[in-house]
Each structure stands twice: as C-alpha cells, then as structure tokens.
Structure 1
Amino acid sequence: MEAKLRRTMTSVTDVLFPTSKNARDPQQHQLLKTGNDYVTNLPLQMAIYFNCFFSPFWLTSVIVVFELKYMYLTTLYKIILLAIYIVFTIIEVIRLYIGYLGNLMERVPELAGFWLLTILLQFPLILLLLFNDQAMLLPLERAVHIIEALFVLFEGVCGYFAIRVMVNYQVTKFHLRQFTDLEQIQDDEYWINNNHQHQS
C-alpha cells in the first residue's frame, strides 16, 4: 500500500514538476559532491516549523469562538463549520508531518503530497473560513484565519520551488550515478582483459 502510494505521488510529481533540460542532458551535469549538497528548502522548513507551533493556538481560538457564537448560527452553518474544522485539523496534522519529513529528508513523494494537500484542500478551506461572512466571523477568528492563510500560501509557493529543485537534483544525481557505475564496469573489464593477456 505504501509503495503504491509512493509510486502514485512520484508519477504526479513528474507531471506537475517536469525536469529541466539541464537535468536531462548528461553533458551539462555539474559534478555533485556526495554528502555536501543539501536541497532542503530552508524558508519552507521554517514556515512548517512555526506553523506547527501556531496550529494549536489556531485550533484553540477557533474552538473558543465557535462555542461563543454557536447559539447564533443557523443549523446549516453549525454543521458546515464543525465539519470544516474537523477536516482542516486532521489534514493539517498530516500535511505538516509529511511536509516536515519530506523537506528535511529530501523525499519528493512526501513533499509532493504536502504540496497537493496545501493547494487543493487547506488553501480553499482557509479561504472559505476567512471570507464567508455568514459564518459570523469575530475579530479573533479573522486574525488567526489571516495568519493561517498566510502560512498556507507561503508554504504552497515555497513547496512548489522546493519540489522543482529537489526533482532536478535527484535526476542529476541518478544520471551521475549511472555514469559512475559505467566507468566502474569499464575499469573492471579493462583489468580483467589485462589479466587474461598476462596469463596467456
């Protein structure tokens, strides 16, 4: 199941973030120093880190405000807001976890999943909470929604560029590894041929 999910996320990443021509052309590769290059996106990592601390405050504020205005809301909006809060909270935990892990460990599938959750789910939901006047927004609620929306927007933008850089880097590293293996095979064949000639 996990392997299938990783393959799916990898194929989606290949479509959304095509590799550059430099990454495809072996002659234009620059030498990568193994162990010294990091493609982790620092602004994205900082945003996720601070978002992890802000999310509990956002959730607490939302619960308190929802309790205060509960009796003034219509039945429809009680159900809608409650569903949005539950879905948003669950997705936020998953999103921040895979984003933190994917960016820090340089894993493209996890980072792509983080980016898709950010753009397709969290951003529309936070905009719905922020601009829906019929939800009777209070000042505290509007303030925390604005901050959360800025976090989500910033992470979406940074995540896109982080995935592009990471995909290009890994494609380049893959091609260089192929050339290294080819050179090693050629060297082995050279020594084997020399040994045969000396023995004969």
Structure 2
Amino acid sequence: MLRRAPELPRSVNDRLNRLATSVFTSIDANDYKRGNNFQSKPTRIEIDYSSSLPLQMLLYFNVCFFPCWLFSLTFVLPILATSAKNYPAILMVFAFLFKAIIEFIRLYLGYAGNLAERMPELTAFCLLTIIFQIPLSIFLLVYSVITNADKEMQLALVFAVEIIYVTFLLLEAIFGIYAVRIMVTAQSSRFHYRQFEEALPANDFASPSG
C-alpha cells in the first residue's frame, strides 16, 4: 500500500497558499456565490479534479531525462574545472551542484503537488523553477556558448543537455502556473459547493413563510 507523501510544515503551507492566491490567481469571490454554478453534474466533475495532465507528462519525461543530464555534467564539468585553459568554469561546477540539489526537491514537490492536488507544494515547485532553475540553466547554456570558441566537445555536450533542460523548465513553469490557477479555483469551488450542500438541508426543513 502506497504511503501518503509527507506535507510541508503548517506555517510554510499557509504562506504558500496566500502566495498562490495573491500572485498566481485573481479570483472574484462573486463567481462562486451563484448557486447555479454548483448544481450541474459537469460543474461537480470539474470541481473534483484539478491535476494537470500536461504538467504530469512533462514531470515524467523530466524525471527520465534527469539521470542523463546528471551523468553528462558529472563527467564533463570536473574536466573543465581542472583545465588550466578553462579555469573560470569552476562557476559552472558550482551552478551545476546547486541546480542538481534543487532539482531533487523541485521534482518531488512537482509530483506531490500535482498528483495529490496540494497547492503549497505546487506553488513551491513553480517558485523553484522560476527563481532558481531557469536562471541557472540559462547561465550554463550561455556560458557554454560564450566559451565555445575553440569548439571543445565538452562544452558542446553541456550545450546539448542544457538546451533540452531549458525547454523542460520553461514548459513546466507555464503549465505549473496554469495548474496552480486551476487548483486555487477548484479549492474555492469545493469550499463554496460544500456551503451550498450544507445550506440545502436547512432550506428543506425550514418552515414555509406565511
């Protein structure tokens, strides 16, 4: 039996929830106060499921590609760092190590947030992607292009794997933000829908006026 993935601390959850609601979405509360929006069956199905299939597909292929990226740069960057001609490449090594550590956390948060429909984890996934991973990948990509004047095979390999990773990150950022917006809307819909269902029995047992 699969165990439920551990959740983030409560204080972190609350801050990420507020961040997702204020930054990634703009919800009009009046849209959820109309009772007709929660009575039809198609609307209930839309409320029940808010995971993003495109984002999950991107995460799956990213997890498959991550070992290839990790092996390629683990083999190449130490050679560049120890080369007297490419001594500034030590910056690439630090960027690679930092990116690799964050990537383990980011992919876990993406899976947990999307599959389990956890908005804080998915928000943290988007923040790590936009703030850290995309700039680090662009740095590795641009550095390999700038210093590739001598057409070294090592830098060509760095460019090849990073251009694929940048594509993954950009698509995941787009679909991740869209998934957060859908998830915020879905959670608000569930809350107002429960209020609507709880109000129905009270209206049924209420005495008729007059």
- TM-score using structure 2 length: 0.81
1:146 and 2:157 correspond: no
User: How far apart are residue 135 of structure 1 and its match?
Assistant: 5.4
Say which of 156, 179, 188 aligns to 2:196. Answer: 179
Q: Give yes or no for contact 2:38–2:44 (8 Å, CA) kept in 1.
A: no
* Structure 1 equivalent of residue 185 of structure 2: 168
* Structure 1 equivalent of residue 18 of structure 2: 11
Secondary structure of the residue aligned to 1:39 is coil
The structure whose Rg is larger is 1
* Structure 2 equivalent of residue 73 of structure 1: 86
Question: Matches of residues 122-137 of structure 1 in structure 2 within 5 Å?
Answer: 122-132=133-143, 133=145, 136=148
User: How far apart are residue 86 of structure 1 and its match?
Assistant: 1.4
Say which of 20, 31, 37 aligns to 1:29. Answer: 37
* Structure 1 equivalent of residue 120 of structure 2: 109
* Structure 2 equivalent of residue 87 of structure 1: 98
Q: Extract unaligned runs of 5+ from structure 2.
A: 1-7, 149-153
Say which of 74, 99, 115 aligns to 1:63. Answer: 74
Task: Return the alpha-carbon distance in structure 1 between the equivalents of residues 189 and 30 of structure 2.
Answer: 5
Deviations along 1:109-128, one digit per CA (max 9) or x if unpaired, are 11111001101110011001
Q: Give yes or no for contact 1:24–1:172 (8 Å, CA) kept in 2.
A: no
Task: Return the alpha-carbon distance in structure 1 between the equivalents of residues 168 and 30 of structure 2.
Answer: 31
Shifted more, 154-163 versus 174-183: the winner is 174-183
Structure-2 change in CA distance of 1:23 and 1:141 (3 Å): farther
Say which of 12, 16, 27 aligns to 1:20. Answer: 27
Structure-2 change in CA distance of 1:73 and 1:23 (3 Å): farther
The number of aligned residues is 189
Deviations along 1:66-104, one digit per CA (max 9) or x if unpaired, are 133231322x531x2222111101110100101011011
**Aligned-residue RMSD, C-alpha:** 2.4
* Structure 1 equivalent of residue 4 of structure 2: none
* Structure 2 equivalent of residue 198 of structure 1: none
Q: Extract unaligned runs of 5+ from structure 1.
A: 194-200
Task: Return the alpha-carbon distance in structure 2 between the equivalents of residues 169 and 128 of structure 1.
Answer: 37
Task: Return the alpha-carbon distance in structure 2 between the equivalents of residues 156 and 84 of structure 1.
Answer: 20
Secondary structure of the residue aligned to 2:44 is coil
User: How far apart are residue 184 of structure 1 and its match?
Assistant: 2.9
Structure-2 change in CA distance of 1:157 and 1:17 (3 Å): same
Identity of aligned residues (%): 35
Task: Return the alpha-carbon distance in structure 2 between the equivalents of residues 64 and 144 of structure 1.
Answer: 13
